Amino acid sequence: MANENLSVWTSIPFWRRSAAWVTGFASILLIWLTFDTLGQISMGNDADLKAGTTKRVPGPTVINYKITYEMSKKRGHEVPVIGEKEAFFGKSDYSEKEARALLHLGKLTSQAKNCMDCHTLLGNGAYYAPDLTKAWIDPAWSKTGPMMAMTGKSTREEAMAEFLMHPSTYPTHARMMPELGITAEEAKGLVAFLKHMSSIDTNGFPRNFGKEEGSTNAQ
């Protein structure tokens, strides 16, 4: 008779304490993860780039350098490699302040023109139009791709800027990009923004972006 009606499962304090423990632990874990993430996403600076320190998000002056991807056996996916100096709109010595201002203009423009309405940036946005996370290294914009010839420009950044200013002039896709009234300066900012984004170490996301020459998973 002693233990017949004794059930912990019907005891309200048991459930209350269990719920408090799980909720409390999850809250602490989320706060911990938030601070853990800050270290992963904090942007580097010019000194890091010059010293060759690997940062998940390189400093804004990364636009002065060539960005390629290399397969990393250790990590099991392609990782960004910041190479030698490379001219960006005819200049490869953007100061940290200039580069930051350019990226800021690009970011604001991407928000004002609502790129994410159709495109995906770092996993956020839509899949109506191509993913722009690694757009900078897309071979379509390289010397061998069609975009330079189509826009009549001789560099990747100029071709991209020209396309952004007059997208409906260049038929590239069944889903044509509309004219968004992007000015030359805004286009430059947007291309800088895209170049910087391509240099971010995204653990190999999105898959199959490594179409650029030299990529192990080239398709």
To the nearest whole angstrom, how small is the minimum distance from the Cβ of residue 29 to another protein? 8
Nearest to 142 by CA among 60, 97, 86: 86
Task: Please count the residues of this chain forming the interface with another protein, following the rule CB under 8 A.
Answer: 24
- Binding of another protein by 29 (CB under 8 A): yes
- Binding of another protein by 22 (CB under 8 A): yes
| Residue closer to another protein (CB basis): 47 or 126 | 47
To the nearest whole angstrom, how small is the minimum distance from the Cβ of residue 92 to another protein? 25
Other C-beta atoms closer than 10 Å to the C-beta of 104 total: 14
Angle between helices 96-112 and 184-198 (to 10 degrees): 100
Which segment (36-44, 98-106, 117-125, 163-171) binds another protein by CB under 8 A?
A: 36-44
- Binding of another protein by 28 (CB under 8 A): no
162-201 residues near another protein, rule: CB under 8 A: 201
CA distance 149 to 154: 8
- Binding of another protein by 50 (CB under 8 A): no
| Residue closer to another protein (CB basis): 74 or 207 | 74
Handedness of CA 139, 145, 149, 154 (dihedral sign): positive
Report whether 197 contacts 136 (CB < 8 A): yes
Measured in Å, how far apart are the chain's first and last C-alpha atoms?
Answer: 73
In single-letter form, the type of residue at position 45 comes to N
To the nearest whole angstrom, how small is the minimum distance from the Cβ of residue 90 to another protein? 32
Which segment (19-27, 134-142, 168-176, 209-217) binds another protein by CB under 8 A?
A: 19-27
Report whether 182 contacts 190 (CB < 8 A): yes
| Residue closer to another protein (CB basis): 20 or 184 | 20
DSSP string over 144-166: TSHHHHHHT-SSHHHHHHHHHHS
- Residue in the structure block whose two tokens are 């190999």: 204
Which segment (4-12, 81-89, 155-163, 172-180) binds another protein by CB under 8 A?
A: 4-12
User: Which residues in this chain contact another protein in the complex, by CB under 8 A?
Assistant: 2-3, 6, 8, 11, 13-14, 17-18, 21-22, 25, 29, 33, 36, 39-40, 54-56, 74-76, 201
